[in-house]
Amino acid sequence: MSNVDTRQIPRDSLFLLANVRLEDEEQSHRIKVRNLSARGMMAEGEVRARRGLLVSVELRNVGWVQGTVAWVQDNRFGIAFADEIDAKLVRLPVVSDSPTNSPRYTRPPLPVFDPVSPDKLRKV
């Protein structure tokens, strides 16, 4: 990615877990994805990332994506993807290949509450 300012690119704030593999290591590390766009992401984790390092990130519903560490600050770092991805796919639940297997990343639906009528609210 060039030195062009990319802060205008829409990104999704989220909290997901992913795996990252550094170019000089064979093992992958578990990281937290803090925000994501089509061109890159911000990650957090105990990884010895350094600017310019080539990495691969395994993103849910997308698979392994190649990129470069764009910046590092404490335990957070930015990754600029080599190719654009569909960031919306990462937010979708994982679809299982078999009807007997449940997807790894899906959560049970949250309960739906009836809206409270204004006359039942009280001032605090």
Whether residue 53 lies inside any domain: the answer is: yes
In this structure, what CATH number is given to the domain that contains residue 44? Answer: 2.40.10.220
Confidence of residue 118 (pLDDT cuts 50, 70, 90): low
Asked whether residue 15 carries a pLDDT value surpassing 60, the answer given is yes
- Taking the CA of residue 88 as centre, how many other CA atoms within 13 Å lie in the half-sphere pointing to its CB? 1
What does the block give as tokens for 29? 């590390």
Residue 28 is part of which domain span?
12-90
**Does some domain include residue 111?**
no
- pLDDT (tens digit per residue) in 82-105: 999 999 998 888 765 555 544 444
102 lies in a domain? no
Q: For the whole model, what pTM was predicted?
A: 0.68
Count up the domains in the chain and report the number: 1
Cβ-based neighbours of 66, under 8 Å, separated by 6 or more? 54, 55, 56, 81, 82, 83
Q: In the prediction, which pLDDT does 5 show?
A: 52
Asked, for residue 44, whether it belongs to a domain, the answer is yes
